[in-house]
């Protein structure tokens, strides 16, 4: 298998992240995306807010040293959540699982939460492999698809020792 690592996002990564988040297949899988993925100024404003927020841990996923995606931890309404987006060339080969395993091991908060569109089998598989379990479902508008989509909320709770 490839060598997967997480590292801090730097300015040289911004073009790759923007391009990755414009990929139509990725947008369809993620569903809950920017309303206009081609709007670079909106992307720059969003990523700037993420980078300046001390509560957000935004990491680049690398495969053999090259860009392969992003992984993040952040807090919403008091709940610590994790998320990932894998570049098209790195999907389906265990990159997301390896990256999220590293992120989850570095993130001390428990419980952790994650969300996935119900049709996103790849993300659901990654989360369940890591021990996340479904806690709820809801339906919300998904800008990436232009319609309402079912979303699954997962949690990872502390293990008993």
Could you tell me if 140 and 161 are in contact, meaning their C-beta atoms sit under 8 angstroms apart? no
Do the domain assignments include residue 144? yes
CB atoms closer than 10 angstroms to residue 99: 26
Q: What is the rounded distance in angstroms from the CA atom of residue 62 to the CA atom of residue 5? A: 5
Do the domain assignments include residue 136? yes
Model confidence at 160, pLDDT cuts 50, 70, 90, reads: very low
Examine the pLDDT at 145 and tell me if it is beyond 60.
yes
Domain count, the chain: 1
Nearest to 39 by CA among 27, 22, 24: 22
CB atoms closer than 10 angstroms to residue 112: 22
Q: Where are the alpha helices (DSSP H) in the chain?
A: 14-20, 24-30, 40-52, 95-106, 121-129
Do the domain assignments include residue 161? no
pLDDT digits (tens, 9 = 90+) for 94-136: 999 999 999 999 999 999 999 999 999 999 999 999 999 999 9
Model confidence at 66, pLDDT cuts 50, 70, 90, reads: very high
pLDDT for residue 161: 45
> End-to-end CA distance of the chain, in Å?
31
List the domain range (segments joined by +) for residue 121.
4-156
Examine the pLDDT at 58 and tell me if it is beyond 60.
yes
Question: What average pLDDT does range 32-52 have in this prediction?
Answer: 96
Do the domain assignments include residue 148? yes
Model confidence at 2, pLDDT cuts 50, 70, 90, reads: confident
Q: Is the pTM of this model over 0.75?
A: yes
Q: What is the rounded distance in angstroms from the CA atom of residue 142 to the CA atom of residue 106? A: 30
Could you tell me if 87 and 16 are in contact, meaning their C-beta atoms sit under 8 angstroms apart? yes
Write the CATH number for 147. Answer: 3.40.630.30
User: Which tokens hold the place of 161?
Assistant: 């020792």
Do the domain assignments include residue 143? yes
Q: What is the rounded distance in angstroms from the CA atom of residue 52 to the CA atom of residue 140? A: 28
């Amino acid at each position: 298998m490839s060598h997967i690592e997480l590292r801090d996002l730097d300015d040289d990564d911004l073009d790759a992240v923007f391009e990755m988040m414009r990929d139509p297949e990725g947008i369809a899988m993620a569903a809950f995306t920017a309303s206009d993925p081609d709007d670079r100024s909106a992307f720059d404003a969003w990523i700037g807010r993420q980078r300046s927020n001390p509560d957000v841990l935004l990491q680049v996923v690398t495969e053999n040293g090259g860009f392969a995606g992003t992984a993040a931890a952040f807090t919403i309404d008091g709940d610590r959540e994790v998320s990932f987006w894998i570049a098209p060339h790195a999907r389906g080969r265990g990159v997301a699982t390896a990256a999220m395993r590293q992120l989850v091991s570095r993130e001390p908060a428990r419980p952790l939460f994650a969300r996935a569109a119900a049709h996103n089998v790849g993300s659901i598989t990654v989360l369940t492999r890591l021990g996340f379990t479904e806690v709820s479902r809801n339906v919300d508008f998904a800008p990436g698809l232009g319609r309402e989509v079912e979303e699954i909320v997962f949690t990872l709770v502390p293990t008993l020792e």
